[in-house]
Amino acid sequence: MATLNYPKIRRAGRWFDVRRRRLGMWAYTLNRITGIGLVVYLYLHLGVLSLLARGQSSWDSFVSLARSPFYLGLDVVLLAGILIHGLNGLRIALTGFDVGVRAQKALFGILMLAAAVALIAAALKIFGD
């Protein structure tokens, strides 16, 4: 009796399909996407820091690039990733130790609201200066 067994890659890739999924799954997927984003950023960051080793002129040219609005926008995106991943991570840590499991949806709401507030304040600061 043969069976249809979807290949592992396809199955594993289902985590980012949030159609028809509930809040918990959205949080899960958001955490994964921000997590991957932050790992990618880490490599970029190390790459940037390595410019320091190449002397003052390459560092200076990088810093002038970093002041551009586009780059500042990326910084805001990075901050969003940090806030979402960090605050949701707090929720996951708490519920993972059986604290506030009943309130996991409310916790997500409150923490993401805090993230949004912090992000807006930070964005204003970043673009305001």
Q: Toward other proteins, which CB reaches closer, 7 or 128?
A: 7
Question: How far apart, in whole angstroms, are the C-alpha atoms of residue 129 and residue 110?
Answer: 29
Q: Toward other proteins, which CB reaches closer, 25 or 72?
A: 25
Shortest Cβ distance from residue 38 to other proteins (Å)?
16
Q: Which residues contact 16 (CB under 8 A, 6 or more apart)?
A: 29, 32, 33
Q: Toward other proteins, which CB reaches closer, 76 or 92?
A: 92
**Which amino acid, residue 52?**
L
User: Which residues bind to other proteins, rule: CB under 8 A?
Assistant: 1-5, 8, 11-12, 14-15, 19-25, 27-28, 31, 91-92, 95-98, 101-102, 104
Shortest Cβ distance from residue 32 to other proteins (Å)?
8
Q: Toward other proteins, which CB reaches closer, 98 or 129?
A: 98
Q: Which two tokens stand for residue 125?
A: 């600061």
Q: What is the DSSP string of 13-50?
A: GGGG--TT--HHHHHHHHHHHHHHHHHHHHHHHHHHHH
| Residue of 68, 78, 76, 64 lying closest to 126 (CA atoms) | 76
Shortest Cβ distance from residue 95 to other proteins (Å)?
6
Shortest Cβ distance from residue 93 to other proteins (Å)?
9
